[in-house]
Amino acid sequence: MSTTASTAPEAAASDRAGASRRKGTFYRGDPGMWSWVLHRITGVLTFFFLFVHVLDTALVRVSPNTYDQVIETYKTPLVNLMEVGLVGAVLFHALNGLRVMLVDFWSKGPKLQKAMLWVIGIVWVVVMVPGAFFMMKRTVETLFGGN
């Protein structure tokens, strides 16, 4: 405690803040925390994809044959699965970015941020399930046979 006079609510708030700091974190698994973490991760993954995309596209000018070989590796099932992950990451990042903007610039945003997080989760699933199905259809047919 400090040596200055303080009111009881201020002292209680200070004690709670100090206890929280002693435990190492202010967050305890709140959905907003996980949204923040996923937003950062999906942003970094998107950045690395764009970096690799620029590099492989630049191969056209350096060596067209090498470029063709790289593009052939992109037709593998593993890369197709990674593409589905990329689409999921970009979609979440975009939807969550809209939610963050609404929280920042809409007067009701802070009150509705948890509800908006659930909405973007539902929209993400509704878009990703059929999207992943159609993205993976050719790969599954190639691996397991089919028409």
Distances (CA, A) of 114 to 19, 109, 127: 25, 9, 20
Q: Measured between alpha carbons, how far is residue 45 from residues 39, 119, 142 in Å?
A: 10, 23, 27
Per-residue pLDDT of 105-134, as tens digits, reads 999 989 999 999 999 999 999 999 999 999
Confidence of residue 1 (pLDDT cuts 50, 70, 90): very low
Q: What are phi and psi of 2, to 5 degrees?
A: -90, 170
Give the count of beta carbons closer than 10 Å to the beta carbon of residue 35.
Answer: 20
pTM above 0.85, yes or no: no
**Res 84 pLDDT > 60:** yes
pLDDT at 3: 52
Average pLDDT, the chain: 85
Cβ-Cβ contacts under 8 Å for 124 (sequence gap 6 or more):
88, 91, 92, 95
Q: Which helix or strand (DSSP H or E) is residue 90 part of?
A: helix 77-105
Q: Which of 31, 45, 16 is nearest to 120 (CA)?
A: 31
Taking 90 as the threshold, does the pLDDT of residue 142 lie above it?
A: no
Q: What is the pLDDT of residues 42-73, one digit of tens each?
A: 999 999 999 999 998 999 999 999 999 999 99
Split at pLDDT 50, 70, 90, the class of 24 is low
**CA–CA distance, 92 with 59 (Å, rounded to integer):** 30
Confidence band, pLDDT 50/70/90 cuts, at residue 23: low
The contacts of residue 33 (CB under 8 Å, 6+ apart) are: 27
